[in-house]
């Protein structure tokens, strides 16, 4: 379909005006505190717990999910092995996924999760419950600082802010639309 390509580009070239300047986007600054991140994440339906170190994670999982279904994780001993070629039926049965987040954004409660931390691209969405582990010092104030941290977007990467939600029926907020029904961020001190 190269003919369409060239025709489209020619039409655009003929229509576009003289060049207008591209502005520089300032960083703005802002509040990157744990308190701010916590407040915002809770306001969008997420939960957050502060832990002294990674060793405390298994006990917290036990506490959060006393009856635990299949667990997939890059950080803990998993009860279901997940890789890029895992069949969808196996993925669909995952109850809890515990994955590493790279950094969090205090202004909106989002956590950056690149493909390399996901085991399978569908895992953070198909799991019933998602737990993201994040180092406390990896908090930034705004999306400006967040993108300043991203040298490249990886093959695939997602900012995840809270659990899956919808308000498509009469604007009533319902948590757990298609993706994870709950999201807990485990913030590791240090």
Partner 1 sequence: MSHSKRAEVFTRDIDRTTWHDETLWFVRKKRDLAAYALPEFQDLRELASQIKAHTLSQLSQYLTQFEEQAKQNGVQVHWAADAHEHNALVLEILQRHGATRIVKSKSMLTEECHLNPYLIKHGIDVIDTDLGERIVQLREEAPSHLVLPAIHLKKEDVGDTFHLHLGTEKGEKDPQRLTAAARKHLREKFVAGEVAISGVNFAIAETGSVVVCTNEGNADLGVNIANVHIACMGMEKLIPRLSDLSVFTRLLARSATGQPVTTYTSHFTKPAPGKELHIVIVDNGRSRQLGRPDFRNSLKCIRCGACMNTCPVYRRSGGHSYDFTVPGPIGAILSPNIDMRKHASLPFASTLCGSCTDVCPVKIDIHTQLYKWRQVLAAENELPASKKWSMKFLGRLLASPAMYRFGGKAARKGLRLLPHGLTHAPGYNPWAIARELPEPPKQSFREWFQQQEDPA
Written as one string, the DSSP assignment of 35-101 is HHHHHHHHHTT-EEEEESSGGGHHHHHHHH-SS---EEESSS--SS---TT--HHHHHT--EEEEE-
Asked if residue 20 binds partner 1 (CB under 8 A), the reply is: yes
CB closer to partner 1 out of 38 and 164 = 164
Q: Is 116 in the site for partner 1 (CB under 8 A)?
A: no
| CB 94 within 8 Å of CB 128 | yes
Q: Which of residues 49-108 bind partner 1 (CB under 8 A)?
A: 84-85, 88-89, 91-92, 105, 107-108
Nearest distance from residue 115's CB to partner 1, in Å?
A: 8
How far is Cα 1 from Cα 94, in angstroms, rounded to an integer? 42
Instruction: Tell me if 189 contacts partner 1 by CB under 8 A.
Output: no
Which one, 1 or 67, has the nearer CB to partner 1? Answer: 1
Q: How far is the CB of 190 from partner 1 (least distance, A)?
A: 26
């Amino acid at each position: 379909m190269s003919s369409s390509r060239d025709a489209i580009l020619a039409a655009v070239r003929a229509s576009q005006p003289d060049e207008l300047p591209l502005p520089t986007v300032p960083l703005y600054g802002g509040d990157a505190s744990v308190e701010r991140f916590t407040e915002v994440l809770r306001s969008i339906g997420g939960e957050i717990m502060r832990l002294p170190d990674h060793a405390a994670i298994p006990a917290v999982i036990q506490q959060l999910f006393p009856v635990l279904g299949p667990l997939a994780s890059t950080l803990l001993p998993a009860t279901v092995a997940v890789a890029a070629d895992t069949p969808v039926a196996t993925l669909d049965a995952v109850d809890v996924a515990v994955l590493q987040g790279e950094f969090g954004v205090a202004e909106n409660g989002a956590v950056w999760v690149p493909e390399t931390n996901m085991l399978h691209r569908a895992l953070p969405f198909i799991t019933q419950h998602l737990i993201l582990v994040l180092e406390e010092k990896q908090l930034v104030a705004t999306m400006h600082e967040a993108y300043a941290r991203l040298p490249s977007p990886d093959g695939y990467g997602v900012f995840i802010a809270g659990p899956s939600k919808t308000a498509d029926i009469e604007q009533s907020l319902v948590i757990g639309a298609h993706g994870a029904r709950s999201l807990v961020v485990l913030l590791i001190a240090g």
